[in-house]
Amino acid sequence: MSHVETGQLESVRLRVIERLAALKESQVRTKIFGNNLAELVSALHVEIAQDLKDALGTVSDPAFASVLSKAIETCGRLDRTLALLFAERQRQWHKNGDYVQALLSEFNETLAGLSNTLIEKDLFERQSQVLEKIILSHENVSQWKVFVQEILIEFHAIFPFNFFYIAFAEEHNFSLYLYYLGNYTESIKQTARDTLAKQMIASLKLPFDALIDIEEFVVKQDSMSDHIEDIHLVTVAVPEHTPKLAGLLGVAYASQETLTPQEESIVRSILSVMVMVVGSSKALSRTMEELEYYSMHDPLTGLYNRRYFNNMLEYEVGRSTRHNHEFSILLLDLDDFKDVNDSYGHPAGDEVLILVGEIMRSHTRKGDVATRIGGDEFAIVLTETGREGAEAAAATIGRALRERICPALDGRHFHLTVSIGCATFPHDGESEADLLAGADLALYHVKDLGKDGVSSVAALGEKQLQANRTTRGYAEDLRDALREDRIIPYYQPIFNVRSGEVFAFETLARLIEPSGKTISAGVFVETIEKYGMGRELDRAIISKALQAKREKMTSEQITTKIFINLSAQEIQGRGILGYAEELCTQLQIPPKCIVFEILERDAIGDMTNMRKFLTKLREKGFAFALDDFGSGYNSFHYLRELHFEYVKIDGAFVRNILNSKVDYALVQNLSRLCQDIGILTVAEFVENQEIFDALKGMGINYAQGFHLGMPMREMHNEPSLGLGG
pLDDT band at 494 (very low <50, low <70, confident <90, very high): very high
Determine how many CB atoms are found less than 10 A away from the CB of residue 660: 13
Rounded CA separation 323/317 (Å)? 10
Rounded CA separation 417/413 (Å)? 14
Query: What dihedral do alpha carbons 283, 285, 291, 294 form, nearest 10°?
Result: -100
Among residues 225, 227, 98, 247, the alpha carbon closest in space to that of 172 is found at 247
Q: What is the DSSP letter of 501?
A: -
Q: What is the pLDDT of residues 654-669, one digit of tens each?
A: 999 999 999 999 899 9
Helix (H) or strand (E) holding 532: none
Q: What is the pLDDT of residues 7-49, one digit of tens each?
A: 566 676 677 777 767 777 777 777 777 777 777 777 777 777 7
Q: What is the pLDDT of residues 359-384, one digit of tens each?
A: 999 999 998 999 999 889 999 999 99
Q: Can you spell out the DSSP letters for 634-676?
A: THHHHHHH---SEEEE-HHHHTTTTT-HHHHHHHHHHHHHHHH
Among residues 44, 281, 243, 23, the alpha carbon closest in space to that of 148 is found at 281
Structural domains in the chain plus CATH codes: 2-129 (1.10.287.1490), 138-294 (3.30.450), 306-460 (3.30.70.270), 476-703 (3.20.20.450)
Q: Can you spell out the DSSP letters for 228-285?
A: ----EEEEEEPPTTSPPSTTEEEEEEEESSPPPHHHHHHHHHHHHHHHHHHHHHHHHH
Q: What is the pLDDT of residues 692-705, one digit of tens each?
A: 999 999 999 999 99
pTM of the model: 0.50
Best-predicted range by mean pLDDT (69-83, 621-635, 705-719):
705-719
pLDDT of 723 over the 70 cut? no
At residue 3, the pLDDT reads 47
Contact status, residue 229 vs residue 188, Cβ threshold 8 Å: no
Rounded CA separation 679/647 (Å)? 7
Rounded CA separation 459/445 (Å)? 9
Can you tell me whether residue 52 is helix, strand or coil?
A: helix
Which position has the higher pLDDT, 301 or 467?
Answer: 301
- Calculate the average pLDDT of the chain: 80
Which position has the higher pLDDT, 230 or 463?
Answer: 230
Q: What is the DSSP letter of 8?
A: H
At residue 107, the pLDDT reads 64
Q: What is the pLDDT of residues 108-165, one digit of tens each?
A: 666 565 555 544 555 566 556 665 666 555 555 567 777 788 878 877 777 788 888 8
Rounded CA separation 432/663 (Å)? 50
Rounded CA separation 257/186 (Å)? 21
Determine how many CB atoms are found less than 10 A away from the CB of residue 51: 12
pLDDT of 564 over the 90 cut? yes
Contact status, residue 583 vs residue 593, Cβ threshold 8 Å: no
CB proximity list for 69: less than 8 A, separation 6 or greater: 56
Which position has the higher pLDDT, 498 or 277?
Answer: 498
Which position has the higher pLDDT, 617 or 603?
Answer: 617
